[in-house]
Amino acid sequence: GTENFAFVQSRVLFIGLHLVSGTDIPNRRDWRNRLDDNTVWLNDNVATHRDEVEVIVVFGHSPTEDEANQEFFSAFAEGVKTWDVPVLYFHQDDDDSVYPWTWQRNLFGVSNLLNVGVREKLWPPLRVVIDTQVNTFNLDGESWHVGSLDDNDGSLEFMEAGGGN
């Protein structure tokens, strides 16, 4: 857990995990221990801060489809089902897309889990604005550094009514 961090700001719990990706696993026991440590760190921090937050944001390097980390992501998805708040998982995305970020609702079939991949070496950096008052977040990877955000540019609801896509 020493590589991990967690803090609450403006009713949002931010959790950073040492969750790397890749197929080159030099020591499988150490890898599994890191995944277990990340699961414990995540669950302990959610349990500690759950009553004081409306949104949880988790940062990790690994994309959710990384097979080496599926044990973690399975436990993560099961936990999110019980947390009853929107959860955003941000990770590095190697996608060669022209878009600065990609997103997927209902990750692992969990209605309150949103997956956001951020392209590496991005300029300007992705700006994320979370508004718990109207239950939305705004992603802007293009114009935030030169002016104000257009309220409709990149704004997404956390969860649609009925847990739809």
- What average pLDDT score do residues 80-92 get? 93
Pairing of strands 5-9, 12-16: antiparallel
β-strands 55-59, 12-16 pairing: parallel
155 pLDDT tier (thresholds 50, 70, 90): low
Say if residue 159's pLDDT is above 50: no
Q: Could you read off the pLDDT of 29-66 as tens digits, one per residue?
A: 888 999 999 999 999 999 999 999 999 999 999 989 88
Radius of gyration of the chain (CA): 16
15-29, 32-46, 112-126, range with the lowest pLDDT: 112-126
CA triplet 47, 50, 56: central angle to 5 degrees? Answer: 105
pLDDT at 158 over 70: no
Residue 148 has pLDDT above 90, yes or no: no
Give the model's pLDDT for residue 165: 34
Q: How many CA atoms lie within 13 A of 52 on its CB side?
A: 11
Strands, E, within the chain: which ranges? 5-9, 12-16, 55-59, 87-93, 101-104, 113-119, 127-131, 136-140, 155-157
Q: Band of the pLDDT at 95, cuts 50, 70, 90?
A: low
Of all residues in the chain, what percent carry a pLDDT higher than 90?
44
